């Protein structure tokens, strides 16, 4: 789908459908009033008939518009005539695009940038149009024989005033970059475990370098990890026939000596639980245990597309967690790269085992800050549901910056405490650390475990177990937290300049 900005009046654009907003008091947005004298009369009629009340997200499609050259008109309810919340703005966009999945509609013009949104500028609105529309038309058809998609939408024209052109273009560039990063992450995540293996993930990372010259990739093999002493990471992959990979991606947008942001993403391409085998129901969803890794790739792609003047390192430890004869057994003790020994009391707490060695490896890049993202604990779903990602970290400034970025990007996070009292739960009788902390506060004890390996830099951890994909009928990857990470990187660049 392509997106463009248009400053000419919306009525002279030729397209299959125009989207117009209307408030509960029957007031049209300014571009609607300009459209035709008839339109207000028409809208009043629609209201009178009871087909529209103007509630937020309500829609009516007029597929004949007498007295104008317009092909179709989609009226979208905007609620009360006052500035909308960011969330309601997104709701309206989602409602609009849901009505445009008809084969006859190939191009639309959208002037919903006219609407006032609390604390949000035009660039943000343009960006949200691109992101929400992009999300809605995504379909995973790679493995279906019939690739027919429900949407034929090709062109989206975003109408703005002449004087707003510069700002709109900036929003467009960001929106397109983030949308592409999100799509990339979703496509990878929706692939099944038998196709998206650690080797495949590494190949896809390498593939990115073809289109983005500022990105370079190299991959550490198991033999390299043995040399580095990554006994914890390797203990997980021993249970699987697929060789593990540690994918190292570097995006250089700044001068070489500028300290990088290091993003670490859990890339477990299938988590069966290992010998501590998971129950069968819903186990297929554990193909999504690589969503952290996919989001790291998506964020690097977005940064490269925006050409952000910043250095970023992406580290993706990738493995399967399977119950082979050589797999970790409960009670096994492994030695991490840091030298700390770990008692593997539950082989299903494998994410932290591959992350800890990667977090130690991250020191090599002299990071300014490190953010890891992982589908780490089912407990995060219990605590926070599927709305925000869990956030924990050892640096308040970093955590606050991520909270702020999450709000702006509508990809929210909620901070949980990383207090030392919880460390008690990770004590082992036989090793330096246990890999599980009992049934209480599972998300926190998982982060406590990681904190033993992040002492030498400022660090934040995002538990994306509840946000990286949807279950049930709409099962599918969300691409989160690519928008959040992209926003954080944009904010950093803006602060520096
Ligand atoms: N990948 C899972 C976490 C997960 C489970 C994410 C369900 C989303 C939905 C992780 O590797 C895991 O199995 N964690 C265990 C930890 C426990 C053994 C301490 C969990 O959450 O049950
Ligand atoms: Mn697990
Ligand atoms: Zn896992």
Atom of ligand 1 nearest to the CA of 285: 9
Question: Is 49 within a domain?
Answer: yes
For residue 118, give the CATH number of its domain. Answer: 3.40.220.10
Distance 169 CA to ligand 2 centre (A): 43
Rounded Cα distance between 194 and 153, Å, is 32
Looking at the fold, whether 150 and 198 belong to one and the same domain comes out as no
DSSP letter assigned to residue 4: E
Looking at the fold, whether 235 and 368 belong to one and the same domain comes out as yes
Q: Whose CA is nearest to atom 16 of ligand 1?
A: 349
Question: Is 168 within a domain?
Answer: no
The whole-number pLDDT of residue 317 equals 99
227 and 248 Cβ atoms separated by less than 8 Å: no
Cβ of 442 below 6 Å from ligand 1: yes
Rounded Cα distance between 124 and 90, Å, is 11
Atom of ligand 1 nearest to the CA of 377: 21
The whole-number pLDDT of residue 70 equals 87
Q: What is the pLDDT of residues 458-469, one digit of tens each?
A: 999 999 999 999
Cβ of 436 below 6 Å from ligand 1: yes
Q: Whose CA is nearest to atom 13 of ligand 1?
A: 348
SS3 call for 92: helix
Would you write out the chain's pLDDT as a tens digit for each of its 497 residues? 999 999 998 888 889 999 999 999 999 998 888 777 778 888 999 999 999 999 999 999 999 988 788 899 999 999 999 999 999 999 999 999 999 998 899 999 999 999 999 999 999 999 999 999 999 999 999 999 999 888 899 999 999 999 999 999 999 999 999 999 999 999 999 999 999 999 999 999 999 999 999 999 999 999 999 999 999 999 999 999 999 999 999 999 999 999 999 999 999 999 999 999 999 999 999 999 999 999 999 999 999 999 999 999 999 999 999 999 999 999 999 999 999 999 999 999 999 999 999 999 999 999 999 999 999 999 999 999 999 999 999 999 999 999 999 999 999 999 999 999 999 999 999 999 999 999 999 999 999 999 999 999 999 999 999 999 999 999 999 999 999 999 999 999 999 87
Distance 352 CA to ligand 2 centre (A): 9
Rounded Cα distance between 266 and 289, Å, is 7
Domain boundary residue, one of 161, 194, 217: 161
Q: Strand 332-335 to strand 107-110: parallel, antiparallel, or no bridges (unpaired)? A: unpaired
Distance 188 CA to ligand 1 centre (A): 20
Looking at the fold, whether 193 and 154 belong to one and the same domain comes out as no
Question: Is 170 within a domain?
Answer: no
Distance 415 CA to ligand 2 centre (A): 22
The whole-number pLDDT of residue 81 equals 95
Atom of ligand 1 nearest to the CA of 276: 18
Atom of ligand 1 nearest to the CA of 446: 19
Relative to the alpha carbon of 319, which ligand is closest? 3
Rounded Cα distance between 237 and 233, Å, is 7
Catalytically annotated residues: 278, 352
Residue 479 falls in which region: left (phi positive, over 0), alpha (psi -120 to 50) or beta: left
- Domain residue limits at 448: 180-496
368 and 261 Cβ atoms separated by less than 8 Å: yes
CA atoms within 13 A on the CB side of 124: 18
Cβ of 314 below 6 Å from ligand 1: no
Contacts of 356 (CB under 8 A, 6+ apart): 232, 233, 336, 337, 338, 340, 342, 449, 450, 452, 453
Cβ of 271 below 6 Å from ligand 1: yes
Rounded Cα distance between 294 and 186, Å, is 8
Distance 288 CA to ligand 3 centre (A): 9
Rounded Cα distance between 440 and 425, Å, is 9
Relative to the alpha carbon of 449, which ligand is closest? 1
Model pTM greater than 0.95? yes
| Nearest partner of 287 among 483, 143, 486, judged by Cα | 143
Looking at the fold, whether 221 and 349 belong to one and the same domain comes out as yes
Torsions phi, psi for 332 (to 5 deg): -60, 145
Distance 409 CA to ligand 3 centre (A): 26
Atom of ligand 1 nearest to the CA of 321: 11
The whole-number pLDDT of residue 38 equals 79
Question: Is 266 within a domain?
Answer: yes
Cβ of 367 below 6 Å from ligand 1: no
Q: What's the total number of domains in the chain? A: 2
Question: Is 169 within a domain?
Answer: no
Atom of ligand 1 nearest to the CA of 379: 21
Atom of ligand 1 nearest to the CA of 437: 19
For residue 186, give the CATH number of its domain. Answer: 3.40.630.10
Q: Strand 245-252 to strand 215-220: parallel, antiparallel, or no bridges (unpaired)? A: antiparallel
| Nearest partner of 219 among 248, 197, 252, judged by Cα | 248
Cβ of 229 below 6 Å from ligand 1: no
Q: Whose CA is nearest to atom 22 of ligand 1?
A: 378
Domain boundary residue, one of 131, 161, 191: 161
| From 275, 291, 348, mutation site for ligand 1 pocket: most ligand atoms within 8 A of C-beta | 348
Looking at the fold, whether 140 and 255 belong to one and the same domain comes out as no
Q: Whose CA is nearest to atom 3 of ligand 1?
A: 377
Rounded Cα distance between 345 and 426, Å, is 10
Cβ of 377 below 6 Å from ligand 1: yes
Looking at the fold, whether 205 and 151 belong to one and the same domain comes out as no
Cβ of 350 below 6 Å from ligand 1: yes
The whole-number pLDDT of residue 32 equals 83
Looking at the fold, whether 261 and 400 belong to one and the same domain comes out as yes
Cβ of 378 below 6 Å from ligand 1: yes
Own/partner long-range contacts of 167-173 (Cβ < 8 Å, ≥24 apart): 167/121, 167/122, 167/123, 168/5, 168/113, 168/122, 168/123, 168/126, 169/5, 170/123, 171/122, 171/123, 171/124, 171/125, 171/126, 171/127, 171/130, 172/3, 172/4, 172/5, 172/126, 172/127, 172/130, 173/306
Looking at the fold, whether 324 and 389 belong to one and the same domain comes out as yes
Looking at the fold, whether 128 and 190 belong to one and the same domain comes out as no
| From 320, 350, 377, mutation site for ligand 1 pocket: most ligand atoms within 8 A of C-beta | 377
The whole-number pLDDT of residue 37 equals 76
Distance 91 CA to ligand 1 centre (A): 31
Distance 272 CA to ligand 2 centre (A): 7
Looking at the fold, whether 191 and 331 belong to one and the same domain comes out as yes
Rounded Cα distance between 69 and 17, Å, is 11
Cβ of 346 below 6 Å from ligand 1: yes
Distance 388 CA to ligand 2 centre (A): 21
Euclidean distance between the first and the last CA atom of the chain, given in angstroms as a whole number: 33
The whole-number pLDDT of residue 148 equals 86
The whole-number pLDDT of residue 76 equals 97
Contacts of 306 (CB under 8 A, 6+ apart): 173, 174, 177, 486, 490
Cis upstream peptide for 481 (omega within 30°) = yes
């Amino acid at each position: 789908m392509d997106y463009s900005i248009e400053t000419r009046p919306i009525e002279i654009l030729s397209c299959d459908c125009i989207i117009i907003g209307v408030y509960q008091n029957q007031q049209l947005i300014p571009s609607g009033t300009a459209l035709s004298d008839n339109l207000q009369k028409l809208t009043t009629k629609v209201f009178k008939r009871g087909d529209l009340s103007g509630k937020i997200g309500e829609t009516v499609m007029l597929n004949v518009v007498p007295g104008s050259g317009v092909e179709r008109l989609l009226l979208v309810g905007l609620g009360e005539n006052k500035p909308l919340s960011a969330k309601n703005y997104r709701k309206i966009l989602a409602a609009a695009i849901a009505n445009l999945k008809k084969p006859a509609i190939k191009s639309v013009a959208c002037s919903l940038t006219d609407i006032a949104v609390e604390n949000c500028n035009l660039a943000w609105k343009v960006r949200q149009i691109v992101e929400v529309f992009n999300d809605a038309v995504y379909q995973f058809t790679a493995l279906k024989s019939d690739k027919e998609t429900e949407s034929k939408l090709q062109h989206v024209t975003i109408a703005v005033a002449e004087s707003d052109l510069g700002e709109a273009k900036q929003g467009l560039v960001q929106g397109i970059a983030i949308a592409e990063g999100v799509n990339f992450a979703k496509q990878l995540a929706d692939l099944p475990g038998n196709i998206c293996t650690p080797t495949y993930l590494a190949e896809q990372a390498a593939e990115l370098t073809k289109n983005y010259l500022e990105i370079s990739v190299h991959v550490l093999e198991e033999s390299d990890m043995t040399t580095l002493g990554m006994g914890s990471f390797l203990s997980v992959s021993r249970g699987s026939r697929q060789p593990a990979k540690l994918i190292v991606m570097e995006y250089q947008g700044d001068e070489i000596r500028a300290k990088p942001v290091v993003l670490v993403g859990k890339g477990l391409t299938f988590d069966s639980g290992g010998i501590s085998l998971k129950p069968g129901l819903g186990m297929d969803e554990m193909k999504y245990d690589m969503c952290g890794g996919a989001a790291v790739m998506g964020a690097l792609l977005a940064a490269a597309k925006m050409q952000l003047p910043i250095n970023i390192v992406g580290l993706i430890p990738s493995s399967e967690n399977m119950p082979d004869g050589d797999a970790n057994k409960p009670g096994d003790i492994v030695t991490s790269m840091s030298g700390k020994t770990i008692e593997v009391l539950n082989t299903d707490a494998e994410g932290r085992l591959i992350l800890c060695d990667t977090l130690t490896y991250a020191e090599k890049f002299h990071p300014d800050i490190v953010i890891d993202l992982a589908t780490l604990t089912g407990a995060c779903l219990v605590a926070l549901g599927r709305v925000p990602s869990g956030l924990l970290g050892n640096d308040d400034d970093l955590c606050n910056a991520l909270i702020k970025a999450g709000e702006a990007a509508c990809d929210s996070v909620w901070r949980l405490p990383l207090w030392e009292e919880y460390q008690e739960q990770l004590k082992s009788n036989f090793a330096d650390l246990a890999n599980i902390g009992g049934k209480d506060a599972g998300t926190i004890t998982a982060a406590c475990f990681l904190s033993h390996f992040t002492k030498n830099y400022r660090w934040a951890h995002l538990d994306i177990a509840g946000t990286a994909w949807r279950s049930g009928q709409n099962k599918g990857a969300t691409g989160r937290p690519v928008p959040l990470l992209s926003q954080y990187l944009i904010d950093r660049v803006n602060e520096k300049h």
